[in-house]
Amino acid sequence: MILQAPPSVDQEINPWLAAAARFDEAAELLGLDEGLRKVLRTPSLELTVNIPVQLDDGRLEVFTGYRVQHSVVRGPSKGGIRFAPDVTLDEVRALAAWMTWKCSVVNIPFGGGKGGVICDPDVLSEGELERITRRYTSEIMDIIGPDRDVPAPDVNTNPQTMAWIMDTYSMHKRQNMTAVVTGKPLALGGSRGRTEATGRGCMVVTLQALRRLGIEPSNTRVVVQGFGNVGSNAAKLMARSGFKIVCVIEYDGAVFNKHGLDVEALLKHRKETGSITGFADGEDMDKDEAMFLDCEVLLPAAHENVITSANAHRIKAPIICEGANGPTTAEADLILAEKKIFVMPDILANAGGVTVSYFEWVQDRQGFFWNEQLVNGRLDEIMVNSFNDVVGYADKHKVNNRLAAYMLAIDRVAAALKTRGIYA
């Protein structure tokens, strides 16, 4: 018998290896043909570009950017663009693959894509960011478009970034092409409800989990790790629905109140001070210990690899709602399964964002825009149906929710690929 060596720390936190491991396990349980596995495992297209930009002080700098299209089997590839100093091609590949499975889980007609530029937005002016964005757009524009690949905001990008991309693309095409990106400002064809969509989706699936487990929202303590767009909106919406947000964790600290934090007041405090720490109606605590508080729901909403084999055994929450992409490593999954923690995996839990992005794309192509009540109602319906699909699949196949979500997603994409066939 050959014993496989345990993965190194670098292997465990490599997002592409994590995505591949989950895919392989689900494909094996599905009994997927080896040839189909190779096709579905391999990104359809990867583009690396070098972006020369003149900085404000007159210096020329060259930035590296990526765009990966994992799959276009069920429709145009869809996925965000992130600006960060630690962007890697493996990370972008993994995020593109997760988008394929995410779109399939919520059954919307997109495949997965992702993009990124290696830069540090904290040290760049708005003018420099605009020049990087426009040159990056011009370098990838041959592979994007409303019917081919539709970018969206991600880490350190926002509606203004999408406006620059849309404008650059439209200028080259000599016509207004609002559907080339989603997450735009409302004035340029954005959708109502888009900003809160990912957080709303997290709340909706958490409510479904509580009902399944027989827990009342009023008896539910939530720890939110990450207080950006996803975490803050999830916390706000959960608080309005009766949840107690007992702790919020950020990169610079954590704030705790056993009776529940006033989320709106905490957001105001951060806007005024630049930090969640020092909040009058809460007490500061060690951010590295806060994830292990007694609570009913842990909502990691920041970045990848927060829950690993080194700390998963310390988590006390019986429910995890993954607001971030890839917050749990494959090795940590094994520990969480042993602890019988009810995990709502990222490709289900945070799919509210891409779902409303789909709504935005539809509205742009129709030239007819919906009110927020309609957007939220249709989002709620899709998230509830998708939750039921995943947990139903888990019950039927006697697997955990993550495996069920992957199996369901892969099964749908494989069925579409088999029906289309391979062009040769």
**Torsion angle (degrees, nearest 10) of CA 372, 378, 381, 383:** -80
Whole-angstrom Cα Rg for the chain: 21
β-pair partners for 223: 247, 298
Going by the DSSP 8-state scheme, the letter that residue 303 receives in this structure is -
| Residue the block writes with tokens 């950006």 | 228
Cβ atoms of 249 and 223 closer than 8 Å:
yes
Dist CA 194 CA 356 (whole Å): 6
Dist CA 129 CA 108 (whole Å): 32
What does residue 286 show for φ and ψ, rounded to 5 degrees? Answer: -65, 120
Dist CA 417 CA 424 (whole Å): 14
Cβ atoms of 415 and 31 closer than 8 Å:
no
- Active-site residue, selected from the candidate residues 78, 102, 114, 244: 114
**Exposed/middle/buried for residue 424 (C-beta within 10 Å: 0-12, 13-18, 19+):** exposed
Dist CA 254 CA 276 (whole Å): 7
| CA angle (307, 384, 241) in 5-degree steps | 75
Which bin fits 63, alpha (ψ -120 to 50), beta or left (φ > 0)?
beta
Is residue 173 part of the annotated active site? The answer reads no
Q: Which residues, in sequence order, are CB contacts of 251 under 8 Å at separation 6+?
A: 287, 302
CA atoms within 13 A on the CB side of 35: 4
What does residue 105 show for φ and ψ, rounded to 5 degrees? Answer: -60, -45
Dist CA 361 CA 401 (whole Å): 29
Which stretch of DSSP H or E encloses residue 39? helix 34-41
Going by the DSSP 8-state scheme, the letter that residue 6 receives in this structure is P
The residues annotated as belonging to the active site are: 114
